[in-house]
Amino acid sequence: MALKIIGILSLTCYFSSIILLAIDIKKEKSRSFATLPGWAAVVLHIGYIVGVSLQIKHFDFSFYSMGSTLSAIIALLILSVSLSKPIEKMGVVIFPISLAMLAFSMFIPSVGQSLQTNNWQLSSHIFSSIIAFSLLNVAALQAIFLAVQEQQLRKHPPRKIILTLPPLQTMESLLFQLIIAGIAFLTVSLATGFIFIEDLFAQHLAHKTVLSIIAWLVFSALIYGRFRYGWRGQTAIQWTLIGFTSLLLAYFGSKMVLELILDKV
């Protein structure tokens, strides 16, 4: 019961922050206290996830549970970065996703896999995978905002949300910082997978491995192009979205098909 209350409080705080951010966008405010409920929502969200894991004595790797965990981490990353860079308006995109995934994980019975292990090797692989996905997810969101910002700045007048975002150069710089950090963790994830997981190209892991490698190659090529040829703008946006799509399919594609469409584990 206590966990349900924590979850419901988190949902309420997410909703409050979404409303406040939407009001800020309408009033063209660049900074406000709209993210304070967002911070409370994320803390409660993580508390709910930890509480459930302790209660069932393992981590639930079902589709909605993983979606809830990743969305909480992504929301936390956005809030943390917003302390130094004005990107809190991205909350209007990720907070509704976090709210939905938390609600689904709370009220829809789990049909997925669980993992119960004290193996540090496997834990390091899982941890680096989650962080890599979260960072590159934020980078993909950043790329979408950058694309909209570039398109809207050509219009007169641009939409209100664009006026509340940082300059293009700042947005682009943050995009590549996120990608570099994401590649670092993705490299660790792939390395630990090859070292510590037997038969990484087994039938149930082959597509995940291949798609993750493709994502690593795409993001690495983008970083090389950035420093070697000065890639930016639409080129950076397109490569980022291609790389993240590959990673998204690797992490969630088969899980969604098996659990939500075929109803299998």
Could you state, in order of their start, the residue ranges of all structural domains in the chain? 1-109, 117-265
- CA distance to 14, 172, 180, 237, per residue, from 177 (Å): 27, 9, 5, 14
- For 128-139, what is each residue's pLDDT tens digit? 888 999 999 999
- For 159-210, what is each residue's pLDDT tens digit? 666 666 677 788 888 899 999 999 999 999 999 888 877 766 655 667 788 8
Q: Is the pTM of this model over 0.85?
A: no
pLDDT at 25 over 50: yes
Of 70-74, 106-110, 250-254, the range with the lowest mean pLDDT is 250-254
Does residue 167 have a cis bond before it (omega within 30 degrees)? no
Quickly state the pLDDT bin for 265 (edges 50, 70, 90): very low
pLDDT at 112 over 70: no
pLDDT at 240 over 50: yes
